[in-house]
Each structure stands twice: as C-alpha cells, then as structure tokens.
C-alpha cells in the first residue's frame, strides 16, 4: 500500500516499541520542563542555516559533536569536542582545495549548561591562505614543492602549500597561547599524491580502532597543547548523513517508505539517498581533560539532575574588510560573530528566515528572544500539513528545555560513552536502550558520531508529547557512508579527490571476458550494490 500525502493515518497507528520505550514512557512527567523532549526536525543539521552564512562557506558551521571519551594516547578521560565547517566540500576541487580562512576566528565555547555563559574558550587562528608556498612557479599546491612526488610526511618537499594554526585558551577573561605553529592535515588529493590516506583501490581507509591504526597524515596532525589538551585541524569526511534530496522535496514520501511495507518501520528501510555521501568538511577539534572542566548542575529533560557543561562552536570575522585593486585584502577591527552552532537543527529547522541571520550574530546567553520558535514550532505544523498528522504545535515547553539556550549539554560524570561499532551503541541513543551513567549516551546528551539526529527527532515528534507508545520514524538513511574512527579525531578520513563514495565501483579485469566483453551480470551486481549504498 503506497504511503499517501495529506492522509498519513498509518503514522498514528503504526507503533514500533523499542527496547526502552515502556520505561521511557513511565519516566516522563506529565508536565514541566524536565519531561521527555520532542525534537522536531525535517532538515539536515546546520549545513546552510541562514541566508548570509550560505554566502560564506569557510565560516559556515555544519555540526558540533561533544561526548566523553578517552585521550588518544593515555586513555585519560576527556571531553571530545569536534566542530565541522565548510559544507559540501568537493574532494577533487583542486588545485587549491579547501583550507581554513586566515581572517576568521574559529572558536569552541565551554559554557554554563543553564545560562550558556562562556566559562572557557578555545580560539583557532590559521595562517594566510595566499602564502606559505614552497614553489609559486607551479600550478600544484600538493605533489610538487621543491621536488615532485607523493607526500609521505606533513610539510615535506612534495607538499607545496602548508597551513599552520595557533590556539588561544581563555579562562576568566585571561587569554593564553597554548599551541603555536601547529600544522593542519592535508586534503586527500588521490592515490598518487596522498597515498597514506587510501587503500589499493584508491579509496580512503577508515574505521581505525586506535591511534596506531590511523593514517600517517592524521597521526602527524594530532598535537598536544601546553595545558594538556589534544588538538587536530584539517579536512575530514562530512560525518552527517540524511536524505537531503527527499527532505527538501517537501518531505518526499520516500523518506518514510520506499518498499510499501510498513511493518519494517517508517523510514527504516535503509534505502534512502544520503545527500552528504562523498563530501568533505574542514574540522577543528580538541580533547579536554575532564578534570580541567568545571562541574555545573543542570536538569536533563529526559533524566533529571546532571553535572556537566554546555558546548557550542562559533566563527567570527573582522569588522572591516578592505579590497584594493592589485593589493592584498585587509581585514581590521574587532571580531564579529557570523555563525554559531550548538544543537543540530535549531536555527535551520526552527528559526524563521526573518531571524536566522540575527541568531547567528548573537550569543546563546540571549536566546530567550528565540524561545517562541521552540515552544511554537512551525515545522510541526508543516509536517501536519504534508502528512495529515496532529502533532502538538504550541506550548512546547519540552522543546524549550532542549534548545533554549542553544548549547549542547554534556553530562561529564558518566565515563566514556559507547561509540558506533561498539557493544551497546544505538544510533537512537536512549530511545534504543543506549544509556551510560544514568543518562542517554548520545544526543541530546551531547552528541556522538553516528547519532541519528534526524531519526531521533522524527521519532520524538511522532511519539510525543505523552510518549505512551514509541513510534520509530526516520528518513531511510541509517548510517554514514563510511565508518568513523574510534579514536580522536573520530571523524572519518577525507574522501579522495580521484575516487570517492559518490563514484560507481571500478570495473575490474576479472569482470572482462576472454573476448574482451564486459561481464554485464557482474557489473550489474556492482552497480546494484553501489545504488544500495547510496
């Protein structure tokens, strides 16, 4: 039976009880800000959340991840904060490839989880993008510096362009430089130029379980700050996943069903089209020792009192930019925030166009001005309009408890949380029975790589506000296109410019018959498998 628009009666009747569904329903108070939160979303994280930032890709934040784990080398408990910027970075976009802007301030904020006031800040500043070349007499940024060939060590003679960065830590208004001249990692140009990234087929190698299993470039780009933090900056795979083409087609029916069988769940067939597959981002990341963080009390909307911190990322530009014919661009004046991101989805999926740019320019301390977008979400009304549902559209105190102020709240007393691929991990977080230390292991308790924020959101919106029955709803994209690493910086290896996950499989010699004709049955199987992956 095909799914009908404007009459999705099945959504009200198909209830898929997950492992902890009954316990979740039993634990939800009847009212008040600490009841379970419905996280409404139909849009992809925050890749293009506002009109102005759409025009400034190098300052455009896409995702923030924050979760408790272990330091890459000692096993010490740390808070991992990984921030992605520059959406839809094409892996083969040479010869210059994407790099961090040299006139932007990339910041990680540790905040009070209740007030969102910043108590600790890490600022990343990067060296010029038009300098630091070994050889300006070539068109190549990588593969030819003072000699041609594959890059085997960061900064070697074959790496023409080098970008470095400085990190400043500010606590209590006192800034201090904790790292200087740290080298960023390099783009994955391809098998000839960056062989350490790729396997024998030319595809990026992923799924490292330890530091020793990381590729050499990533290992070399991990640095230690003078105050005990671990640092990383460079290109990575875009870690977000979702059926963006279907989502933006006014919730195309394929995101909920694509095989006509409702018994396998709404949006759980696993055959959606991942709109982020094969793209890269630029990543800056830090591991902060837990014992260096303040422990602040707050109320988790699902599990009650917790101790932890708030986290968000921001990008700032200089107040004035001057362009002169035949001269370098000059940026002067104070830093002005142009983008910020805490929870996935808020600005992109809840805040109206009229306020999106203003949201990006303000501090989460002042987010009360945006509270109506959480309490009276337009998106719930749009979903009702498209699918004939009856989701609550007003007085959503539960949404306010999650999004206002808009910082990721992370319980820091839980110990390390399960990662994708480990025993106990569920992409649904606590909805899938995945808890650590009495709180959800994943979003909205922080956010891990692999947390299916779209499915968590749609499941909550379909099941709330009473949560008497858990109806699992998703977008038919259950995971990322490649495996994440299980060690810092966690984000997967950047896709290769010459062969990445957007490309069809290679035709092997074994698929060609003795008469030189391609074995069409074998090739058809390859392309079917490729299409299933997509």
521 & 430 share domain: no
Give the SS3 label for residue 485.
Answer: coil
pTM (2 decimals)? Answer: 0.88
Residue numbers in the chain where pLDDT is lower than 50: 1-44, 508-512, 517-518, 520-521, 523, 534
Instruction: Indicate the helix (H) or strand (E) that contains 87.
Output: strand 77-89
Q: Which of 169, 172, 47 is nearest to 108 (CA)?
A: 169
531 & 430 share domain: no
The residue segments making up the domain with residue 512 are 507-534
Kindly report, residue by residue over 481-517, the tens digit of the pLDDT.
999 999 999 999 999 999 888 876 655 444 445 555 4
Instruction: Indicate the helix (H) or strand (E) that contains 177.
Output: strand 174-183
443 located within any domain: yes
- C-alpha distances in angstroms, 373 versus 252, 349, 397, 400, 424? 24, 9, 11, 9, 34
DSSP state, 402? H
Residue 450's φ and ψ, nearest 5 degrees, are 100, -15
533 & 448 share domain: no
Cβ-based burial of 56 (10 A; exposed 0-12, middle 13-18, buried ≥19): middle
- pLDDT at res. 13: 32
Instruction: Indicate the helix (H) or strand (E) that contains 245.
Output: helix 244-248
274 located within any domain: yes
534 & 490 share domain: no
415 & 332 share domain: yes
- pLDDT at res. 361: 97
Kindly report, residue by residue over 74-97, the tens digit of the pLDDT.
999 999 999 999 999 999 999 999
Record the tokens describing residue 389, joined without a space: 């549902």
335 located within any domain: yes
221 & 315 share domain: yes
468 located within any domain: no
377 located within any domain: no
316 located within any domain: yes
Chain centroid, CA 108 distance in Å: 14
- CA angle 311/316/320 to nearest 5° reads 165
How far is the C-alpha of 110 from the C-alpha of 79, rounded, in Å?
A: 10
418 located within any domain: yes
Residue 382's φ and ψ, nearest 5 degrees, are -65, -40
519 & 489 share domain: no
- C-alpha distances in angstroms, 143 versus 184, 188, 294? 16, 11, 45
259 & 330 share domain: yes
Kindly report, residue by residue over 464-474, the tens digit of the pLDDT.
777 778 878 88
Q: Which of 186, 131, 126, 199 is nearest to 153 (CA)?
A: 186
Dihedral class, residue 88 (left if φ above 0, else alpha if ψ from -120 to 50, else beta): left
Partners of 408 in beta bridges? 311
332 & 431 share domain: yes
> Mapped to the 3 state alphabet, what secondary structure does 329-363 carry?
CEEEEEEEEEEEECCCCHHHHHCCHHHHHHHHHCC
532 & 489 share domain: no
Domains: count for the chain: 2
443 & 511 share domain: no
4 located within any domain: no
117 & 229 share domain: yes
Kindly report, residue by residue over 286-311, the tens digit of the pLDDT.
999 999 999 999 999 889 999 999 99
Note whether 214 and 169 are within 8 A (CB). Answer: no
């Amino acid at each position: 039976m095909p799914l009908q628009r404007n009459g999705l009666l099945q959504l009200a009747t198909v209830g898929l009880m997950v492992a902890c569904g009954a316990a979740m329903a039993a634990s939800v108070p009847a009212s008040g800000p600490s009841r379970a939160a419905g996280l409404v979303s139909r849009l992809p994280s925050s890749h293009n959340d506002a009109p102005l930032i759409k025009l400034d890709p190098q300052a455009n934040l896409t995702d923030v991840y924050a979760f408790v784990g272990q330091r890459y080398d000692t096993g010490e408990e740390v808070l991992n904060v990984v921030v992605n910027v520059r959406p839809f970075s094409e892996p083969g976009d040479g010869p210059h490839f994407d790099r961090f802007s040299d006139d932007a301030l990339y910041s990680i904020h540790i905040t009070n989880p209740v007030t969102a006031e910043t108590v600790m800040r890490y600022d990343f500043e990067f060296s010029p993008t038009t300098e630091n070349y070994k050889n300006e007499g070539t068109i190549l940024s990588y593969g030819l510096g003072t000699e041609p060939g594959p890059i085997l060590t960061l900064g070697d003679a074959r790496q023409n362009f080098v970008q470095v960065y400085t990190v400043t830590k500010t606590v209590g208004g006192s800034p201090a430089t904790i790292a200087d001249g740290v080298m960023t990692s390099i783009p994955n140009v391809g098998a000839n130029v960056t062989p350490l990234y790729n396997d024998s087929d030319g595809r990026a190698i992923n799924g490292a379980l330890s530091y020793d299993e990381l590729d050499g470039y990533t290992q070399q780009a991990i640095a230690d700050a003078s105050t005990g933090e671990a640092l990383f900056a460079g290109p990575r795979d875009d870690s977000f996943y979702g059926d963006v083409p279907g989502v933006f087609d006014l919730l195309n029916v394929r995101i909920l069903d694509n095989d006509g069988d409702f018994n396998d769940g709404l949006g759980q067939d696993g055959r959606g089209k991942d709109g982020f597959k094969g793209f890269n981002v630029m990543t800056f990341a830090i591991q902060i020792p837990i014992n260096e963080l303040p422990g602040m009390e707050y109320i988790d909307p699902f599990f009650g009192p917790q101790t932890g911190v708030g986290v968000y990322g921001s990008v700032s530009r200089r107040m004035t930019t001057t362009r002169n014919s035949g001269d370098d661009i000059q940026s002067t004046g104070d830093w002005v925030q142009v983008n910020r991101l805490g929870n996935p989805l808020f600005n992109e999926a809840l805040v109206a166009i009229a306020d999106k740019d203003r949201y990006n320019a303000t501090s989460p301390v002042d987010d009360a001005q945006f509270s109506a977008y959480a309490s009276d979400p337009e998106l719930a009304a749009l979903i009702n309009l498209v699918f004939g549902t009856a989701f609550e559209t007003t007085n959503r105190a539960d949404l306010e408890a999650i999004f206002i102020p808009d910082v990721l709240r992370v319980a820091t007393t839980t110990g390390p949380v399960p990662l994708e691929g480990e025993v106990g991990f569920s992409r649904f977080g606590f909805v899938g029975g995945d808890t650590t230390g009495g709180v959800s292991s994943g979003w909205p308790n922080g956010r891990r790589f692999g947390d299916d924020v779209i499915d968590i959101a749609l499941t909550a919106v379909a099941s709330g506000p009473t949560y008497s029955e858990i109806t699992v709803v998703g977008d038919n994209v259950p995971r990322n296109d490649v495996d994440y690493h299980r060690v810092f910086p966690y984000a997967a290896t950047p896709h290769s410019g010459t062969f990445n996950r957007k490309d069809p499989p290679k035709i092997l010699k074994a698929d060609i018959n003795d008469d030189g004709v391609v074995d069409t049955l074998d090739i058809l199987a390859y392309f079917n498998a490729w299409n299933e992956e997509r």
